[in-house]
Structure 1
Amino acid sequence: MPTSKTPPRHRSVTLLSVGHGCVDIYQGAVAALVPFFVSERAYTYAAASAVVLAATLLSSVVQPLFGVFTDRWALPWLLPVSTLAAGAGVALSGLGGSYPLTLLAVAVTGIGVAAYHPEAARVAREVSHGSHTAMSWFSLGGNIGFALAPLLVSAVVATAGLRASPLLAVPALVGAVLCATALRSTRTSATAAAATRAATAAGRDDWASFTRLTGAIVCRSIVFVGLSTFLSLYVHQRTGAGSAAGTAALFVLYLGGAVGTVAGGRLAARYRRVTVVRWAYALTVLAVAGVVFVPGPPLYVFVALTSAGLYVPFSLHVTLGQDYLPRRVGTASGVTLGLAVSVGGIASPAIGALADATSLHTALMPLIAFPAVGWLLLRTLSEPGTPRAAAPPTPDGARPTPAADTGHRP
């Protein structure tokens, strides 16, 4: 925990990172609840994947809208409020047996997550002064939340059933307190947000590059959400082991993100971000193929490699998007940070329907192609600002962003 001697900037990033983890528990929790919906309520694969869709579709559509709002106004109160909403949806999803009410509950979670990310990313950018490394630590908090989700859900629901789901609201309560504390520490205000927008007014938005980046993120998202939804069931079938084997695989997928996210920030300190991102997508093609085709315990190795390939570019997506759209940081954050973990849910019902018609093994095969498509979209991208004389990296490895170049401090 931060001490009284911790610099305010580091203390604020730490609080935001832990708060981010509390929110992203609920993105991981929805997928982790799928096996219990199948076993306790006899949902088909398609019905179970539609639950994930309910949590992600609204988030995919609404999140950029929240980004547009945060570009115009500072909305720091969204952080604690959206955290509570995300937790409330998951807490209510296990109560009662009504399928429509379950969909409604997880949709509330999706809206809470959508409201949180653009404003949180804007605040993190202000606090860190555009540092890629600091953003990787902020993203790390969310990835740890993802990693803890299956363990938390399993500990609560496997022990007491879906009706114990209200206990899953505890992280939301903790996260709301941490977010409120971080906001008091950073003193984020409408004046600070206005100063940031004025400082970046000289920047030029590169929509063509941002669109290609977004396309790659969509490909990454389809792979990640597809595996998050069905990996636990797939590993259980593939290895012949108990349900714990599936939970362990999901934990490896999420926990590897912690390593990958930090590695992405470090690699960006030595190489161009676009280069790091391209290599990560290439690795993911081979890793997903291993998950699909390699039998037995070695499958876990390829799950870990897939996790690394998916997460190394995670925080770099955010900073690249913000630098491609320096005048619309909130919009860029809403698309890159939120879309990266939500829009893939749109493809989940198709995967589930294919699995019902054939098998999970067959349904997961198309996931191998998506990171290859993402690599093709990224192949012609250039580092933001490279057509001009690029400034040297800062000591922490971040190339100055338009906000950082002006010397603005929140």
Structure 2
Amino acid sequence: MEAVVKQESQTQYRILYFICAAHFLQDLLTSVVPAMLPVLQTSLSLDYARLGIVVMVANITASFFQPVLGSVTDKKPAPWLLPLAALFAGVGLTGLAVADSFTEILLMVVLIGLGSATFHPEGSRVAHLAAGPRKGLAQAIFQVGGNAGQAVGPLMIPLLFLPFGLKGAYWLLIPMLLGASALTVVARWYKNWAGARKKSGQPVQGANRYGALSLLVAVVSIRSWIHSGISSFLPLYYINAVGMSTKLAEVYLFVFLFAGALGTFVGGPLADRFGKKSVLLFSMVGSIPFILVIPYLTGIWALINIFIVGFISLSSFAVSVVFAQELVPGKVGMVSGLMIGFAIGAGGVGAAVMGYFANSIGIAALMEMLLILPVLGWLLGIRLPKDRTAQAPISTSA
């Protein structure tokens, strides 16, 4: 019991750095799928609707399974799922190298999505357990790894896929093996911790507030529509409407996603000072003027503007996970799956809807319609409880 209490009072930075690095490599692999849309459009002659379906399938598989797996592992920890997650993603990406039909692409995307669904609930739990008293900082360290991986993922298109076609996916076996190695280290620590925690019999404390959690899921889902809409269709907008080259369009996407990674890291300390709800609301309303001018800017001003959009809109990413864990302290895996998985999966559904809108009204008009989403997110977010009212102690139950 004393060993568990001592460990819970200390921040395990070594484990946090390992899980951050693994998150970077895992999300680098999975973020290749939406970034590949221009390559798939050229290779398989896919229209916007089918490209939206690819993103939808990737997000649904990666995301909607996460709360289920998290709920299962709330009852029984499964450290071995962590290195297995990297293998799923690697095999799926290798399969893309030999896929020659829309159906085969979807099957490989499902496998990649399963890797993500397997990783994130347990990865978030590890960050929670290793945090000690610094839950916000630990979650920010974990999440910034994933967002940085999502930012770097699009760079694989000009580096690997444009020169080599779909067979460039073979090179992604290298980050897969590195990620599996890092997760093996994390899994060993997690297994030892879970064994000691089980022997201690320390109870879960705090009331579960599912109504507030449902509202938070809705707000985060809207944020995911914004993020998925921009990350999926911004390169296509620049290529097809503005006439930008594919390489340059992917650089703009990298800037957007990299800014989101920075915003994720900065948002944690800001939430410690100003409150989680305040940061969440700002991530919605603060992005409105910058989303408004996306279709009207080019060159360096477009690059600066898209950086600001990414930074603001994802500043609440880690914050919302910690907020959810406070609202429902007894279900760390389940709520992490909801925040990282289900809510983000809603963004994939949004991408499919946006694909049909792009076919109907044009991709330029679609970019203008994105303005509606942060307004709606802010209107819902103001109904969330102040995070001072979510004072139940956070459980470290595995």
**TM-score, scaled to structure 1:** 0.89
- Determine if contact 1:225/1:342 at 8 Å carries over to the other structure: no
1:105 equivalent in structure 2: 108
Give the CA deviation at 1:226: 1.4
- Determine if contact 2:79/2:188 at 8 Å carries over to the other structure: no
**Alignment pair present for 1:84 and 2:80:** no
Distance in 2 separating the partners of 1:322 and 1:192: 22
Distance in 2 separating the partners of 1:108 and 1:232: 25
**Could you report, residue by residue, the CA deviation over 1:326-375 in whole angstroms, capped at 9, with x for unpaired residues?**
01111100000223433211122221122122311112232211121111
- Determine if contact 2:32/2:153 at 8 Å carries over to the other structure: yes
1:287 equivalent in structure 2: 290
Which of 305, 322, 325 aligns to 1:322? It is: 325
Distance in 2 separating the partners of 1:277 and 1:63: 22
Unaligned runs of 5+ in 2: 1-9
Give the CA deviation at 1:295: 4.3
**Could you report, residue by residue, the CA deviation over 1:20-50 in whole angstroms, capped at 9, with x for unpaired residues?**
1111112311011110001122111111221
Alpha-carbon spacing, 1:193–1:90, altered in 2? closer, same or farther (3 Å): farther
- Determine if contact 2:157/2:250 at 8 Å carries over to the other structure: no
- Determine if contact 2:93/2:169 at 8 Å carries over to the other structure: yes
Distance in 1 separating the partners of 2:85 and 2:149: 16
Distance in 2 separating the partners of 1:328 and 1:58: 21
2:48 equivalent in structure 1: 45
- Partner of 2:370, secondary structure, is helix
- Partner of 2:273, secondary structure, is coil
Distance in 2 separating the partners of 1:256 and 1:35: 22
Tell me whether 82-91 or 183-192 shows the greater mean CA deviation.
Answer: 183-192
1:139 equivalent in structure 2: 143
Give the CA deviation at 1:189: 4.7
Letter in 2 for 1:142: G
Distance in 1 separating the partners of 2:393 and 2:311: 26
- Determine if contact 1:94/1:102 at 8 Å carries over to the other structure: no
Distance in 2 separating the partners of 1:222 and 1:355: 15
Tell me whether 352-361 or 215-224 shows the greater mean CA deviation.
Answer: 352-361
Alpha-carbon spacing, 1:401–1:18, altered in 2? closer, same or farther (3 Å): farther
Distance in 2 separating the partners of 1:195 and 1:250: 48
Letter in 1 for 2:338: V
**Alignment pair present for 1:378 and 2:370:** no
Distance in 2 separating the partners of 1:378 and 1:197: 37
Q: How many residues are treated as equivalent by the alignment?
A: 388
Distance in 2 separating the partners of 1:195 and 1:278: 41
Alpha-carbon spacing, 1:293–1:82, altered in 2? closer, same or farther (3 Å): same
- Determine if contact 2:275/2:387 at 8 Å carries over to the other structure: no
Give the CA deviation at 1:288: 1.6
- Determine if contact 1:278/1:379 at 8 Å carries over to the other structure: yes
Residues 10-409 of structure 1: pairs in structure 2 closer than 5 A: 10-129=13-132, 131-192=135-196, 194=198, 198-200=202-204, 202-386=205-389, 401-403=393-395
Alpha-carbon spacing, 1:324–1:365, altered in 2? closer, same or farther (3 Å): same
Give the CA deviation at 1:383: 3.4
Distance in 2 separating the partners of 1:197 and 1:56: 37
Alpha-carbon spacing, 1:196–1:91, altered in 2? closer, same or farther (3 Å): farther
- Determine if contact 2:222/2:374 at 8 Å carries over to the other structure: yes
Give the CA deviation at 1:315: 0.2
Alpha-carbon spacing, 1:8–1:277, altered in 2? closer, same or farther (3 Å): closer
Give the CA deviation at 1:128: 0.8
- Determine if contact 2:266/2:315 at 8 Å carries over to the other structure: yes
Distance in 2 separating the partners of 1:313 and 1:251: 19
Distance in 1 separating the partners of 2:11 and 2:383: 39
- Determine if contact 2:97/2:169 at 8 Å carries over to the other structure: yes
- Partner of 1:380, secondary structure, is coil
- Determine if contact 1:216/1:378 at 8 Å carries over to the other structure: yes
Give the CA deviation at 1:298: 1.7
Give the CA deviation at 1:258: 2.1
Letter in 2 for 1:119: E
- Determine if contact 1:13/1:124 at 8 Å carries over to the other structure: yes
Give the CA deviation at 1:136: 0.3
Distance in 2 separating the partners of 1:205 and 1:302: 40
**TM-score, scaled to structure 2:** 0.91
Distance in 1 separating the partners of 2:165 and 2:38: 12
- Partner of 2:156, secondary structure, is helix
Give the CA deviation at 1:187: 4.6
Unaligned runs of 5+ in 1: 1-6, 391-399
Percent identity of paired positions between Structure 1 and Structure 2: 27
Letter in 1 for 2:322: T
**Could you report, residue by residue, the CA deviation over 1:122-142 in whole angstroms, capped at 9, with x for unpaired residues?**
111001125201210110100
